[in-house]
Amino acid sequence: MKSHFLPQKVTATCAVAGATTLLSGVAHAQRFVAADYASNPIYTAGWSAGQNGGYGFGPWSFDSTSTNSSQAMSGSSPVGAAWTLLDGNSHGGISDVGRAISEPGGLQPGQTFETVIQNPTAYVFYRGFDILFCNATNNDPGGDNAAALRLSVFGYHEGYNTEWAVTDGNPYAYNNTTTTTLNFTNTAAGGLQIDLTLTSATNYSLTMTPLNGTTPYTLTGPFAFTALNSDTSLYVTNLPINYVNYRLWNAASSGTNDITDNFEITSMTVQGLPLNIQMAGTNAVLSWLDIPGFYLESATSLASSATWTSNSVSPNDVNGENFVTNPITGHQQFFRLEFPQ
């Protein structure tokens, strides 16, 4: 079995060469739309506004960062080399970084934004840190929490809030906020992997996985629609998501290698919808997440002149996942997921 990755609209392509060569395991194919890592050579000499390592993201912005707060590189984080936010103020400061998701139209249905972070373990009343998934062209300043989705640890007036919270839609409507089962201490211990998948243009699935073995947290639902200026005929959702924004305003940071006070980011990627394939007797079973609009196509070659046709077998939906069983023929066959543009 081989996996191939094609540009343009193709999310993933798997090849079947015949029953005698098909492996008994499961193959996964998917396309990275965007990827950047703190270990990329461009960041060896430091992290600066305007840098753009990897591909598929816009340049980093440090706009709205307060005087005495800053950004730097760290090599001793639990998550490895990391972009590091430093808050140099005991009160009122903010380190603010963000960048665009450059895929036309932003994050698309079927795509997953993934990032790995390490958050501070020190904590101060009415201070905190967050990640905003926005429809924006630059960073939200302190006090502006507008976002399609906000993940935050922040101590409000009712006391210290040590759990991660998820807010979708209006940041001032408390019924749009869900308190997770994850405490900021267990997500700091080994780092935290965050996966945000759009299951439709207005629905999402969020999984937050502590890398120290703590049970992951998953939340699904629609993005909240919010009345604009009290006019219920106008609604906003801060969609589509085309910008990601990380912010730290917490205890004053002690330095680039002090993980107690730093907010660190090691990677960010955007992945297409995975296509899975597995042998079952003389059949190939293909499966993918049931997201409206995607359909399966096949061809006998990857040449530019290849003819791709819709798969003749209709998928069966089992617990939110599509399954198609195709007989394995004697010739090589390629499968891909397609989404109309």
* pLDDT of 78: 72
* pLDDT of 171: 55
The string of DSSP codes covering 207-243 is EEEETTSPPPEEEEEEPPPEEETTEEEEEE---S--E
Domain boundary among 241, 271, 301: 271
* pLDDT of 25: 52
Structure tokens at 60: 């980093």
* pLDDT of 19: 36
Residues contacting residue 114 through CB under 8 Å, at least 6 positions apart: 193, 194, 195, 196, 267, 268, 269, 270, 271
Structure tokens at 316: 């069966």
Domain boundary among 271, 296, 330: 271
- Do you find a cis peptide bond into 240, omega within 30 degrees of 0? yes
* pLDDT of 2: 29
Average pLDDT for residues 220-241, to the nearest whole number? 70
Residues 23, 69: one domain?
no
Residue 295, H or E segment: strand 295-299
Residue 184, H or E segment: helix 184-189
pLDDT band per the 50, 70, 90 thresholds, residue 6: very low
* pLDDT of 27: 59
CB 246 within 8 A of CB 86: no
* pLDDT, mean over the chain: 82
What is the b/e burial string over 220-236, where b = at least 16 CB atoms within 10 angstroms of the residue's CB?
Answer: eeebbbbeeeeeeeeeb
pLDDT band per the 50, 70, 90 thresholds, residue 254: confident
Residue 107: CB atoms within 10 A of its CB come to 25
Residues contacting residue 261 through CB under 8 Å, at least 6 positions apart: 86, 87, 120, 122, 250, 251, 252, 253, 254
Q: What percent of the chain has pLDDT over 70?
A: 81
CA angle 282, 287, 290 (to 5 degrees): 150
pTM across the whole model:
0.79
Residues 17, 60: one domain?
no
What Cα–Cα distance (Å) separates residue 330 from each residue in 16, 22, 192, 287, 302?
9, 11, 45, 22, 17
Residues contacting residue 8 through CB under 8 Å, at least 6 positions apart: none
Q: Count structural domains, the chain.
A: 2
Cα 7 from chain centroid (whole Å):
20
Residues 185, 278: one domain?
no
Residues 179, 222: one domain?
yes
Highest mean pLDDT among 22-31, 235-244, 252-261: 235-244
Residues 136, 185: one domain?
yes
More confident residue, 137 or 157: 137
Residues 265, 173: one domain?
yes
Residues 300, 323: one domain?
yes
Residues 245, 297: one domain?
no
Distance between CA atoms of residues 258 and 293, nearest Å: 46
* pLDDT of 328: 81
More confident residue, 227 or 276: 276
Distance between CA atoms of residues 177 and 161, nearest Å: 13
Structure tokens at 257: 């290698």
> Picking from 19-33, 85-99, 180-194, which range would have the lowest pLDDT averaged per residue?
19-33
Residues 262, 293: one domain?
no
pLDDT band per the 50, 70, 90 thresholds, residue 16: low
Average pLDDT for residues 126-138, to the nearest whole number? 92
Residue 141 has pLDDT above 90, yes or no: yes
Task: Give alpha helix (H) positions in 36-141.
Answer: none
Residues 227, 287: one domain?
no
302-314: pLDDT as tens digits: 888 888 888 878 8
Residues 249, 223: one domain?
yes
Residues 327, 184: one domain?
no
Size (the chain), residues: 341
Domain boundary among 224, 242, 271: 271
Distance between CA atoms of residues 109 and 273, nearest Å: 9
CB 68 within 8 A of CB 51: no
Q: In this structure, what CATH number is given to the domain that contains residue 237? A: 2.60.120.200
Q: What percent of the chain has pLDDT over 90?
A: 40
Question: The domain containing residue 198 runs over which residues?
Answer: 32-271
